[in-house]
Chains A and B, each alone.
Chain A
């Protein structure tokens, strides 16, 4: 029996989701020009990346700064499968993502053995190694001259092309979110969260933590690869320095942390905020390192004042503002407590 405040949070979430879906679906029509539409695509791409990252970061608490490399592998995999393998664009996208997932098995096997700061460092190494490989293996990857990925819809005009890709990214976001939600409510998901809370304890209860981590890492890599590949099809031009950048992974982390890693929509909210802010900084101040400074400050603020992210902070605010009966645990009688199975107390204790 959910308490009043829990119900109001749920209603607020449903309203917000419906509003987001409506705006997102109408966005290509509402966008005043193709540039704004392309910003929408970039933000959606960030949202998919960050949601994909959150399969690992949110469930297990392992902070990967290396997911940029997985996105880059997805992008290059897709591009190379088209240019060198002669595959149709969307077949290449799917095969590319599967390949990223396969490559993620040995990567995860090595990286997930270490925890905490060591894992972060190993994940950074992944980006550096892939960058080196893709830069120096010029005969295959095009090196720093870049790789041209043929457009999937050759005859299509630019605004129409943006429109189509906006919806493709939106569909991919919905798919990633759906899978995240399915895991979140599953027994597998509960096991992953146990790892986040206390990995050794989870082991002693009989959870094969390493296998759990590896599986969810591969799922995460698959969606990250899809996001990278779809970006390659849309953007059409890949450069290793941008594809295998430590920044991409850092943005994913920042967005997820900002929105809230325990929440399905946390990464999306983070992407909306950070993605738009990044574009704004680029337009307003050009190619200065200013956006990096701003990102750093934002990260510090989040960590200091909203360690759980925007969404939980909003939820708490909502609960405090909503006129509910459960204002204080001391006003709840024992009989009421028994009747609600302690739900009130739960809702209250989370407010503390």
Chain B
């Protein structure tokens, strides 16, 4: 089954060629990981895929449809949700409103009250799953870094993406929280959601992913299951530094 694919995706910032004819695909229904050294273009790849940055050339397709020139909200509505490396929440909204803001009302529904019972129940469900339900009425800017990361994830999940792109979910997060995030990814994957996870924490990557893609200077240099990647010589040379 088709999932997220790119064909010769290229992006340069000035003279800095960050994505160099990147052709890569991720597997539908799987937990994919995207790893690589700092500055290898992982975040830029996410930014291109989600429409926040226009690639210079190349194509991006999702579920068989070309999404290269679509706007970010259209890409989100096509089923791709994402978090940010430097986690982004709406700082002056409560945690509850942060999650409610991820619903996508249409037509006359736009004028209905933002805090409908059904929505609140669903939002509370996600906040509970992430263990921050008690902070529902707290403004996001008053949450700790880790809590904000959980909140961001709750918001993304509220929008019910088919595929979730996570940019360093473990960054700055304590080990207990890490287990919770890892477990959640596994659970959601079991329900059919696809993941693409950029992550430097190799324990997490190796334990939760089915398929790993390794970037080096904007190009995939290896891909395969964790068992294979762990011993791949190019990966060891470029990244794992062993």
Contacts and interface: CB of A to CB of B under 8 A. Distances in A.
B136 A342 contact: yes
Contacts of B142: 349, 352
Tier of interface size on chain B? 35 or more
A345 B142 CA distance: 10
Nearest to A338: B134
10 contacts: A187-B110, A187-B112, A190-B100, A190-B101, A200-B52, A203-B72, A205-B101, A206-B77, A338-B134, A341-B137
Interface string A181-211: 0100111111101100110111111111110
A190 B74 CA distance: 19
Nearest to A340: B137
A298 interface: no
Contact of B111 (A182, A202, A341): A182
Interface stretch (B80-88, B176-184, B196-204): B80-88
B114 A189 contact: yes
B155 interface: yes
Contacts of A202: 90, 101
B97 to A, nearest CB: 6
A312 to B, nearest CB: 11
Nearest to B76: A206
B129 interface: no
Contacts of B76: 203-206
Interface residues of A, number: 33
A326 interface: no
B38 interface: no
A204 B137 CA distance: 23
Given A185-B113, A188-B110, 18 more contacts: A187-B103, A187-B109, A188-B105, A190-B101, A191-B105, A193-B101, A201-B88, A202-B101, A204-B50, A204-B72, A204-B82, A205-B102, A207-B101, A341-B136, A345-B135, A345-B137, A345-B138, A349-B138
* Central interface residue in A193, A201, A338, by most chain B CB within 10 Å: A201
By DSSP majority rule, is chain A's interface helix, strand, loop, or mixed? helix
A179 B104 CA distance: 21
Given A198-B88, A345-B138, A203 B71 contact: yes
A226 B110 CA distance: 25
Interface in A165-190: 182, 185-190
A167 B113 CA distance: 30
A346 interface: yes
Contact of B92 (A186, A197, A201, A203): A197
A86 to B, nearest CB: 37
Contacts of B82: 204
Nearest to B95: A342
A350 interface: yes
Contact of A187 (B72, B84, B111, B134): B111
Interface string A309-341: 000000000000000000000000000011001
B134 A194 contact: no
A6 to B, nearest CB: 10
Contact of B94 (A186, A189, A204, A346): A346
A338 B105 CA distance: 31
B139 interface: yes
Contacts of A204: 50, 52, 72-73, 76, 81-82
Contacts of A191: 101, 105, 110
A202 B156 CA distance: 11
A55 B199 CA distance: 41
B93 interface: yes
A207 B102 CA distance: 8
10 residue pairs, one from A and one from B, having the closest CB atoms: A346-B137, A197-B90, A206-B76, A203-B72, A188-B110, A187-B105, A190-B114, A349-B142, A194-B101, A201-B88
Interface string B128-168: 00000011111100100000000000011001000000000
A202 B51 CA distance: 13
Contacts of B138: 342, 345-346, 349
A303 B103 CA distance: 34
A237 interface: no
Contact of A206 (B88, B94, B113, B159): B159
